[in-house]
Amino acid sequence: MKQIWLFIKENSKWYILIAFLLLIVNGAQLLMPLFIGNIIDYISIDSSSTITNYSPIWFNSLYFTIAAFAIVIFRIVYINIMRKFAIHFEHTKRIQLFEKYLSLPDSFFFDNEIGDLMARANNDTIAVRQFLVMGLLSLYDIVILGVGALTIMLFKAPTLTLWILLPLAILIFLSQFVSKRIHKLFKAIQETFADITTRVRETLVGMNVIRTFCRETYYMNRFVDVCSSYLRINLNLGKLMGLFHPAIAMVISLTVLVVTIVGGYQAMHGLISLGTLVEFTQYIQLLAWPMMAVGFVVNMYQRASISLTRIQEILTTPSADAAQRILLKPALSMDTISIHNLSYSYPLQGKEYAIHNLSLQWHKGESVGITGPTGSGKTTILSLLLRIWDPPENTVFVDSYDITHLDLKMLRRQFAYVPQVSFLFSNTVWENLRFGKPDASKDEIMEAARIARVLEDVKKLDHGFDTIIGERGVTLSGGQKQRLALARALVTQRPFLVLDDSLSAVDPETEEIIINNLKNHLQKTNQTCIIISHRITTLHWLDKIAVIEKGRLTEFDSPSRLIESKKGYFYRLYHYQYLEGLEGLHNGN
């Protein structure tokens, strides 16, 4: 809860004003029973038939009315101020979380469920905001109203007040007993809610696959299970709070009974006045809210404490570049990329290497292909080059600079990357294509769409480039999504164009046109191009081919020389895809 107190300290002037207004309101509440007691004492001393001076009655009634109006007016003012700052705190934390998510390394998102991260930015921030309003108000009332009422009661009738302290001690014991159990239950509630969010998101994203495999019942049962857990935990919390609140009400009723019996006896024997007995009855009612608020505050505090801890867990997670000992921002010419004796294993793989003792180099303007069996480490090379995963120091260099020493954003701005899975945003085609270059001109976007052979497809859409393509490009075919993702990368005009199996869903005829367009484009721009593919039609025109098998570089030469060698993986790939394809066509004819 340290963050809350720091926030209050930063806005101390306003919170001092809030405290002052609360003091006025609570002071007025504490004075109101005294005004009633004065009126009753005045009336009980003199019968109504002998009262000649009504001024004390009128004055106390006026004071009571002024106090009531003051409570209403100042309460409206301080609640609005507190809500304003609580919403501001919630807004700030939510922005901080989102900003942190953008700066975290990709490995973080492999280790954490998306639903849980969403719950922290939504439910947890709301829980903290609720405590900043009602929680703090209730805490203040417990201190001021509770302490104030007891002080006045001790001053007016010490003996009677001591009789009241026994039920209050029972209340303190109940609060301590319940608070520990509430803390555990709220933590379980937050975690289970995050699990629900994850299940819903996973189901909605994979709906087509679920329906295709007829797994609706299985996923329904999974969701029912987690919802049942959520229901069970909430019911347990409800039972606990259901026992706690009636217990508090019972304590209050016992306190009123004690005041009535003991106070009535003292009033009959002249130890206290009738007005004081009435005041005590009203003070007990006034104490009812602070006594009830103990459970309310314990409830909200535990929830806010857990939520703030979950938020801080994210905010204190090191960013992607936090571990960098050296941070350079040189003017890069991007003449060469070199990989020297690179060995890499993923964090969860232990000593099993995804890349082993790899050395590669390519120069500005070259077009290089990377191929190899599935799972051989091709995409891992690109992930390390882009620092999606950080490579070991002194293994990957750009212009003789170790990329682990370069500013991360500066490094990534050198690459136009098209990943294996084409991700498009729920926005217009225009906005998707200018995503990497917001100030791109219309001509630049149109030219990129032409090279990627997607211009005519876009023109056929209902609203052309202004068509909203839906979440993840759901309204488009796989080939259209890949071509739009390629066009988006081309718009950026960055020094390196990196394609990770980015034409796998494109038909051969369209692929050939795109390859020809791409060759002409690369000759004009002198961009360096890296392409991962299993298709000879995508690889045959490149300057060099690197073959990766089991994380090792086994071949690296021009496509023609690798084919002429009549051995190795690339020749076999060529043989299977090209020669056997021709033989099949010949036999078919």
What confidence category does residue 531 fall into, taking pLDDT thresholds of 50, 70 and 90? Answer: very high
Share of the chain above pLDDT 70, in %: 91
Q: State the pLDDT at residue 176.
A: 67
Task: Show Cβ contacts of residue 396 under 8 Å, excluding neighbours closer than 6 positions.
Answer: 337, 338, 339, 340, 342, 384, 385, 402, 403, 404
Please report the pLDDT score of residue 322 as a whole number.
59
Q: Which of 293, 315, 337 is the last residue of a domain?
A: 315
- 168, part of any domain: yes
β-pair type (496-500, 528-532): parallel
Q: Is 369 contained in some domain?
A: yes
Average pLDDT over residues 464-475: 76
Q: What is the pLDDT of residue 69?
A: 92
Domain match, 137 and 39 both: yes
253 & 342 share domain: no
Cα 513 from chain centroid? 43
Q: What are phi and psi of 352, to 5 degrees?
A: -80, 115
pLDDT attached to residue 57: 83
Per-residue pLDDT at 189: 84
What integer pLDDT is reported at residue 515 of this predicted model? 92
**Is 155 found in the same domain as 62?**
yes
Q: What angle do CA 496, 373, 453 make, to 5 degrees?
A: 45
Tell me the average pLDDT across 187-204. Answer: 82
Residue 45 lies in a domain: yes
Question: Has residue 582 got a pLDDT over 50?
Answer: no
Lowest mean pLDDT among 16-20, 43-47, 431-435, 457-461: 43-47
Residue 200 lies in a domain: no
Q: Is the pLDDT of residue 203 over 70?
A: yes
Provide mean pLDDT across the span 136-143: 81
Q: Is residue 510 part of a domain?
A: no
**Which domain-ending residue is among 315, 350, 371?**
315
CATH number of 543's domain:
3.40.50.300
How would you list the strands of the sheet with 552-557, edge to edge?
415-418, 496-500, 528-532, 367-371, 544-549, 552-557
Question: In this structure, are 282 and 347 located in the same domain?
Answer: no
3-class SS letters over 52-73 = CCCHHHHHHHHHHHHHHHHHHH
Most confident segment among 118-132, 226-240, 271-285, 308-322: 226-240
| Residue 503 pLDDT level (bands cut at 50, 70, 90) | confident
| Same structural domain, 182 and 306 | yes
Q: What is the pLDDT of residue 544?
A: 93
- What band does 295 get if pLDDT is binned at 50, 70 and 90? low
Domain's final residue, options 265, 295, 315? 315
Asked whether 364 and 495 are in contact (CB, 8 A), the reply is yes
Write the CATH number for 239: 1.20.1560.10
157 and 46 in a common domain: yes
| pLDDT tens, residue by residue, 209-247 | 787 778 888 888 888 999 999 999 999 988 888 887 787
Q: Is 365 left (phi over 0), alpha (psi -120 to 50) or beta?
A: left
Is residue 98, in this structure, part of any structural domain at all? yes
What pLDDT sits at residue 49? 53
The structure tokens listed for 75 are 């309460």
**How many folded domains does the chain comprise?**
2
In this predicted model, what pLDDT tens digit does every residue of 311-330 receive, in sequence order?
A: 888 888 887 665 556 677 77
Q: What is the pLDDT of residues 514-524, one digit of tens each?
A: 999 999 999 99
Do 546 and 360 form a contact (C-beta atoms < 8 A)?
Answer: yes
Q: What is the pTM of this model?
A: 0.72
Give the DSSP letter string of 261-313: IIIHHHHHTTSS-HHHHHHHHHHHHHHHHHHHHHHHHHHHHHHHHHHHHHHHH
Give residue 368's identity as a one-letter amino acid code. V
Q: What is the dihedral of CA 87, 88, 94, 96, to 10 degrees?
A: -160
Q: DSSP letter at 415?
A: E
Nearest C-alpha neighbor of 549 from the set 332, 417, 381:
381
Residue 408 and residue 340 share a domain: yes
Together in a domain, 129 and 98: yes
Q: How much is the CA Rg of the chain, to the nearest whole Å?
A: 37
> 192-201, 264-273, 314-323, 535-544 — which is least confidently predicted?
314-323
- Using alpha carbons, list the distances in angstroms from residue 373 to 379, 438, 559, 562: 11, 37, 17, 16
User: Which pLDDT score, from 0 to 100, does residue 46 have?
Assistant: 57
Instruction: Look at residue 178 and tell me whether its pLDDT is greater than 60.
Output: yes
Residue 147 has pLDDT above 90, yes or no: no
Is the domain of 148 the same as that of 236? yes
478 in a domain, yes or no?
A: no
Give the pLDDT band (50/70/90) at residue 562: very high
Which residues partner with 418 through β-bridges?
A: 499
Do residues 140 and 253 both lie within one domain? yes
pLDDT in tens, 60-112: 889 889 999 998 999 899 889 888 888 888 888 889 898 888 888 777 877 78
Nearest Cα residue to 323 out of 382, 387, 383, 396: 387
pLDDT of 447 higher than 90:
yes
For residue 546, the enclosing domain spans: 326-414+528-589
In 319-398, at which residue ranges do the beta strands (DSSP E only) sit? 336-344, 355-363, 367-371, 396-398
Residue 27: both structure tokens together: 């002071």
Cα separation, 491 vs 506, in Å, equals 20
Please provide the average confidence, as pLDDT, over all residues in the chain.
84
250 and 366 inside one domain: no
Mean pLDDT of the 176-201 span: 79
What six digits make up the tokens of 28? 């007025």
Do 126 and 274 share a domain, yes or no? Answer: yes
Say which range, 44-48, 93-97, 423-427, has the weakest mean pLDDT. 44-48
Please give the Cα distance from 100 to 120 (Å, whole number): 12
In a domain, 448, yes or no: no
Q: How confident is the model at residue 587 (pLDDT cuts 50, 70, 90)?
A: very low
Q: Which two tokens stand for residue 58?
A: 């009128």
Q: How do residues 361-404 score in pLDDT, each as one tens digit?
A: 888 899 999 999 988 989 899 989 988 888 988 999 998 889 88
**Residues 6+ positions from 391 with CB-CB distance below 8 Å:** 342, 344, 384, 403, 404
pLDDT per position as a tens digit, 302-316: 778 888 888 888 888
